[in-house]
Structures are given as structure tokens and as C-alpha cells.
Amino acid sequence: MSAGSAVRTGSAGAGPAAVGTTAVSADVHGVHGAAGRTRWKAFAGRRQLRSPVEAVEWASIPPGGVSGEHRHTRTEEMYLILSGTGELLLNGVAHPVRAGMLALTGIGNIHGLRNTGATDLDWWVIETLPPVTTAVLTGSRSPQGGCPVSNAAVFDLFAQRRVDTAGIFSGPLKRIEYVEVPAGGRETLGSPDAELAVYVHSGTGTAHSDAADDVALTTDTCLLVPAGSRLTVSATADLRFSAVTLRLPATEADR
């Protein structure tokens, strides 16, 4: 990551707002109208976050499983493939996906996911509220022109290391970064005006903050870093994680 990255700067504050793993999940049937079972885990929702985020989740489908195609009419959604292989259906076009592939689906676009491999297909989900949806939920005036169709795109995050969402998303999800910390190394996370959602892909380590107990980091750990916090991640074995910047509204950032 670059020295000016949002996930590297911050000030003293609280520790992780929420911590979870995928060790325990729920079985959900018929997701988006598709037959079959989906394993699902909710890490956080609107009640745990100050940024306009609908949910931070994890999902998994078995070989041959499908998460049905559906149109996004109120949220912008990030899919980050964690393991397995499959096809992402984006506006009717199939894109082969594997670990590290990132899909950004804006308002008005249609997506779905199919497991074409021999093992479970797992992915990290962050669903956020664009300004037009926030305006409706808060009862304020909606932006002129209603809810325009926005963009959608697929990236290889593990290769690119950083993806900015400008021109694709209009809501709080501004950036996704892939970080590697070697054993014995450290990385400081935090932003004065954004929450961070972090997902550990592999390795072990500890997240330390002066304001909270240390958090053990292992594969498939998800944690949320509040705005204004400063969190130090120390790797005991080579640590790989992704960090998502979730910008606060101006009124929240000024608090």
C-alpha cells in the first residue's frame, strides 16, 4: 500500500467495532430464487456502522450451487471471491472467477453467481447505500432524476492490489486494498473520516489498540475499524487481508 493510503493513517481511538469468523454460519435456501443451499454469515449491519452500509456478510455455495441473478435497485454491492471457482453473471455475461476476483455491481445492474468447481465457492459481501437510497430512507429530497443506472465491473484485486470505485459506486465504499504483512511485520490501520472493513485471507496475527483488548487474527476473520481509530496489525505468520474504506457522510465525519 502507498504511504498516503486511507488504511494507513488515523488517530487514537477505539478498537475494532465488531469481530467475527465464519466458524458458525446459517443455512439459507432459495437465495434470490435459486434452488439449493447457501451458507451465510452476517458480520455487521446498519446498527453497527456509522457509514451508510446495509450489511457486511460472508456467503458460500457448494459445487453446482447458484446464487440467483437479480437486479440491484437500491444498493451497491461488492463481491470478493475468497475461495473456489465459478462464474459471475453480470448483466447476462459470464465472467470466470477465482480467489481474489472482485465484482462491483452498481444500481440498475443484474448479477448472480454459479459454482462451477469441485469445492465450495466462498465470497465476502459488502452492500452499501448510494445517496439516492439514503435520501429515501431519511425522508429528505431525492436527487433530481431519480435513481440512474450506474456501472458494474470485475477486477483481479490480488493482482492489482488496490481498486478505487470512482465512476462505479456513488455511496460510501470508496476503495478496496489487498495487503500482505510478512511474519514479524506490522501494519497500521485507521482513517479519520472512514470506517474500515477488514477480511483475513490467510495467516495469523494480532490486532492491537490502546482502547480495546487485542484481537487474534486467523483465516476468515472479519473486523471493523471505527473512524478515528488507530489499529496495529502484527503478523505472527505471513498475513494476507483485504481492507475496504467506507467513508462517513460529512455530517458524521464532523462529529
**pLDDT tens digits, residue range 175-202?**
999 999 999 999 999 999 999 999 999 9
CATH code of 187's domain: 2.60.120.10
pTM reported for the whole predicted model: 0.89
pLDDT at position 90 is 92
Residue 10 lies in a domain: no
Closest CA to 90 of 114, 73, 122: 114
HSE value, Cβ hemisphere, 13 Å, CA-based, for 234: 8
Residue 7 lies in a domain: no
C-alpha cell at 225: 475499524
Residue 3 lies in a domain: no
Residue 8 lies in a domain: no
pLDDT at position 34 is 75
* Average pLDDT value for residue range 135-141: 70
* Tally of structural domains, the chain: 1
pLDDT at position 5 is 44
Give pLDDT tens digits for 214-246. 899 999 999 999 999 889 999 999 999 999 999
Residue 151 lies in a domain: yes
Q: Cα–Cα distance between 91 and 120 in angstroms, integer?
A: 24
Give pLDDT tens digits for 156-165. 999 999 999 9
* Least confident stretch, 41-50, 130-139, 145-154, 185-194: 145-154
Give pLDDT tens digits for 28-55. 888 887 778 889 999 998 888 999 999 9
pLDDT at residue 56 greater than cutoff 80: yes
pLDDT at position 2 is 35
Distance of CA 110 to the CA centre of its chain: 19
> 16 or 53: whose pLDDT is higher?
53
Q: Cα–Cα distance between 40 and 67 in angstroms, integer?
A: 12
Residue 153: burial class (beta carbons within 10 Å; 0-12, 13-18, 19+): middle
Q: Which residues contact 182 (CB under 8 A, 6 or more apart)?
A: 235, 238, 239
* Average pLDDT value for residue range 130-152: 68
pLDDT at position 115 is 96
pLDDT at position 14 is 64
Residue 234 lies in a domain: yes
pLDDT at position 146 is 52
* Average pLDDT value for residue range 171-175: 96
Question: pLDDT band at residue 142, thresholds of 50, 70 and 90?
Answer: low
> What domain range includes position 158?
18-253
Widest Cα–Cα separation across the chain: 53
Residue 204 lies in a domain: yes
Residue 2 lies in a domain: no
Contact criterion met (CB below 8 Å) for 239 and 199: no
Question: pLDDT band at residue 7, thresholds of 50, 70 and 90?
Answer: very low
CA distance readout (Å), 207 to 23, 88, 138, 212, 242: 19, 33, 35, 10, 14
